[in-house]
Structure 1
């Protein structure tokens, strides 16, 4: 497991608090390019696309790193050299019923080695944590980046009540747990994104942007249409101002730098 100290120079991340005067930061999730593109080109070339496209950062996805990958410090340094802030996304859940997932410390160590400004994980199965659990999490987070739980596409950690309960309990215990608000994922659980924004807005620190298309009754991620962007603007009135946002929808085409630049510009105007 990487140490909770790192030589990686962290790229400053724009403010996460309401009222920031700078334009919102726009990142791109490496998953936007798909497994095949990442395997073919590697992260170094992907980072160059993002830098050339004017992105402020990259969301490094743990599931897209090679099996046995351990060079987190070097990858973080490559991101910093490109001027890209890093959010680290790990697919393992934070909660396993009444206890924290066993690999939380490993994820935090990897995030620190990357120089990540935040670690994003699914909430998992939260049934109510004892005060001692929150105290333990506070202690762990003191040496690492902010921890953000995300609404995923499951009913246990992608519906409103469990997420609200977890975040409200954390706040009551003075534990600095924030939220990644994935606009698209709410549709998989039948939750109204606007209702979620109204309830969870005070906890949100990071925005996942994902268009949703229906194909033969199935939902799939897609490039958001103008109508979706209009709906998102209404939703954003219930969230902190100038939230850093990430494109987590497919980016596919001949000129990926130009395509990425166009999407960066669209999300920055939200």
Structure 2
């Protein structure tokens, strides 16, 4: 991969070249394997759901590192299984990108794992970002440029340090000033865990967004929980999407539970594809 593929996000369309069939009219829609539940994945592995996704006409899969067995090393084999099913890959690791003003120690290993998977993009948490020196930003620029992964992204998670507007905006704006092609995964639901306004976040961060995590949210016992989005939420999501580059890939990250999982997955993919 040449560094020309790592230019900052443009105003028009965001694509990952290794994700299939993405256009502004029919953006790529993926499924995070976590949508099928930790119990199922623990029993059968993430590769077990790939044929369901292919049959449901998903464009890709989000492989979750936290759901891999302890000591897992066969990233190449798992990536090949994804490709055999015609699925592009996003690699999700809950690891932090930053440890205060330093890059987190595990970053290089996570990039290597993403490379072995053949992932189009890797998604990390922000971590604790307190600003960084130009030299540190240049180190990140070099790490990203040396990786065949097309996008390195940070996600708004469910913590105050990594899931609120101010630190995310500070990091992404600093990246922009440093000519570092760091992008954002915008998790629609996670703002409810940190008490932030998703619309305000989209207005401020929309130009950095390269990937959208979609999950409905319901309140139960005083806590938010991920859920299948209702029609009202889908209407709100269309407003959010207007702040992002057209054709931005998006992923299901809400529970997929039904007697016919393939049919239900296909239905939910269609809902997100038409946003």
**What TM-score results when the alignment is normalised by the length of structure 2?**
0.91
- Hey, what does 2:13 align to over in structure 1? none
Match of 1:13 in 2: 19
Partner of 1:147: 152
Aligned mate of 1:180, from 181, 185, 196: 185
CA RMSD in angstroms comes to: 1.4
Against the structure 1 CA distance between its residues 15 and 43, is the aligned structure 2 distance closer, same or farther, given a 3 Å change threshold?
A: closer
Provide the residue aligned with 2:272 in structure 1.
Answer: 267
The residue that corresponds to 1:192 in the other structure is 197
Q: Aligned with 1:153: secondary structure?
A: coil
Give the match for residue 92 of structure 1.
95
CA deviation vs aligned residue, 1:183-206 (integer Å, no higher than 9, x gap): 000011111000000000110000
Work out the CA distance in 1 between the residues paired with 2:256 and 2:214.
13
Counterpart of 2:54 (choices 51, 54, 67) is: 51
When structure 1 is superposed on structure 2, of 141-150 and 48-57 the one drifting more is 141-150
CA distance in 2, matches of 1:85, 1:126: 30
What is the aligned length?
Answer: 258
Mark the runs of 5 or more structure 1 residues left unpaired by the alignment: 1-9
Say whether the 8 Å CA contact 2:24–2:246 is kept in structure 1.
Answer: no
CA spacing shift, 1:94–1:15, aligned 2, 3 Å: farther
Q: Which residue of 1 aligns with 2:9?
A: none
CA distance in 1 between partners of 2:165 and 2:231 (Å) = 26
Structure 2: gaps spanning 5 or more residues: 1-15
Give runs of ≥4 in structure 1 deviating > 6 Å.
Answer: none
- Summarize the alignment of residues 35-50 of structure 1 with structure 2, pairs less than 5 Å apart: 35-50=38-53
8 Å contact from structure 2 (residues 156, 186) kept in 1:
yes
Matches of 1:182 and 1:235 in 2, distance apart?
Answer: 11
Question: CA contact under 8 A between 2:18 and 2:89: conserved in structure 1?
Answer: no
